[in-house]
Amino acid sequence: MAHEITLVPGDGIGPTITDATVRVLEAAGFEAEWDRHIAGVTATEQGMDPLPAETLQSIRDRRLALKGPLTTPVGAGFRSINVAMRQEFDLYANLRPARSMMSGGRYDDIDLVIVRENTEGLYAGIEHYIGMEDDPKAVAESVMLITRFASERIVRYAFEYALDHDRDKVTLVHKANILKCTQGLFLEVGRQVAEEYEGQIEFEDKIVDNTAMQLVVDPYQFDVLVTENMFGDILSDQVAGLIGGLGFAPGANIGEDAAIFEPVHGSAPDIAGEGVANPTAQILAACLMLDHLDEAEMAERIRSSIRSVLDRGEVRTPDLGGDATTEEFADAVIAEVESGAVRV
Ligand code: NAI
Ligand code: MG
């Protein structure tokens, strides 16, 4: 039976890398009915809302979306559509695995997962200016919202993920030494949840700045990291750096009622339209979707095909020092997926 999935190709390089992804999924034998919808700048350019009601309704009906990156204007303009979608569907868990896809980088065999709280912290967007005398922007203020409810649910998610995926350790990352109420509550709740898993999963907590340093010095000490919204955003780009860059980093946004799968990277306006973006992160995001749909074997076949193509080194996109186009890379992965299918 075909899966019904909303497809939001996205802005910039989005349409190119999602096209490549859909072709790879089809080659692997994944059956889907894609309901295509626009959002972001692609929508505003057509005079529509950046988050059109039809797009939201499609995701609400299907509870599943594969999404390309969406451009967010910096400083002014509409608020992030990515953040809005996560809030709309209460996609509280942002899962960002970082696994080495090719050898010869700074580190080999990296395999860690960031579980990021996706609905609150500073990204709740509770901020405003305070005017003074003739300066309307004399002061800017932002609220770091941390609730017991959301902290408990994300730390529990991290432990359950660790149990389900044979992981050994959860590291809770925080800044409770300075932000005693907000980060302190996150840590306090985290320690309580951790007690329930004692004897099953190892637990430690670490201050975020130290964690950032330790990730560079010895990333192998980490396994699953759970943290609040902004630290998770920053650390997930950092761990993407450990495995060779944003081109390899997928993300899943998971809630009780819906899930949206997307790459960690953005719409890459500097290379948009050139047809040379690396589609790996988008394809890996689709693999996370396959895991979610209990198609783990198919996901693993696609991942190992990507690794084979990258390791042979003949077909690589420019971000990896090659000269292949997005389509050529996808074709190479498809050839590998199909030959793998014969071997199975
Ligand atoms: P970016 O991730 O789009 O690009 C950063 C650098 O990485 C650029 O040099 C880009 O060319 C390169 N890069 C990114 N993805 C690549 C790929 N697949 N293949 C090859 N090179 C790649 O980050 P930037 O420039 O800060 O943001 C651009 C736009 O994307 C902004 O509007 C931002 O708000 C948005 N964005 C959207 C996200 C989402 O939809 N979830 C996430 C992050 C940023
Ligand atoms: Mg980010």
Give the binding-site residues of ligand 1, using a 6 Å CB cut-off: 13, 17, 69-72, 82, 246-247, 262, 265-271, 277-278, 281, 319
Shared domain check, 8 and 65: yes
Q: Is residue 72 part of a domain?
A: yes
Q: Is residue 99 part of a domain?
A: no
Write the CB contacts of 222 (distance below 8 Å, at least 6 apart in sequence).
112, 169, 171, 214, 215
Q: Roughly how many angstroms between the first and final C-alpha of the chain, as a whole number?
A: 22
Shared domain check, 123 and 231: yes
Q: Is residue 106 part of a domain?
A: no
For residue 68, the CA-to-ligand 1 centroid distance in Å is: 11
Question: Which DSSP string do the residues of 249-275 spell out, in sequence order?
Answer: -EEEEE-SS-EEEEESS---TTTTTSS
Residue 76: the pLDDT is 66
Number of domains in the chain: 2
Residue 83: the pLDDT is 82
Burial class (CB in 10 A: 0-12, 13-18, 19+), 317: buried
Note the pLDDT tens digit of each residue in 84-135: 888 899 999 999 999 999 888 889 999 999 999 999 999 988 999 999 999 9
Shared domain check, 307 and 268: yes
Q: Is residue 98 part of a domain?
A: no
Shared domain check, 259 and 293: yes
Shared domain check, 267 and 257: yes
Out of 205, 225, 242, a domain closes at 242
Shared domain check, 118 and 29: no
Out of 212, 242, 272, a domain closes at 242
Give, using CA atoms, the residue closest to atom 40 of ligand 1.
69
Active-site annotation holds for 135? no
Nearest to 217 by CA among 113, 106, 111, 112: 106
> Regarding predicted confidence, which is higher, 30 or 104?
30
Shared domain check, 261 and 223: no
Closest ligand to 82 CA? Answer: 1
Which of 113-117, 220-224, 246-250 has the lowest average pLDDT? 246-250
| pLDDT band per the 50, 70, 90 thresholds, residue 344 | very low
Active-site annotation holds for 175? yes
Catalytic pick from 11, 35, 123, 291? Answer: 123
Which of 88-92, 243-247, 329-333 has the lowest average pLDDT? 243-247
Shared domain check, 148 and 76: no
Would you say residue 46 has pLDDT above 70? yes
| pLDDT band per the 50, 70, 90 thresholds, residue 75 | low
The domain containing residue 216 runs over which residues?
A: 111-242
Closest ligand to 231 CA? Answer: 2
Give, using CA atoms, the residue closest to atom 6 of ligand 1.
268
Out of 219, 242, 265, a domain closes at 242
For residue 142, the CA-to-ligand 1 centroid distance in Å is: 25
Dist CA 166 CA 151 (whole Å): 23
Active-site annotation holds for 291? no
Mean pLDDT of all residues in the chain? 94
Shared domain check, 280 and 229: no
Would you say residue 340 has pLDDT above 80? no
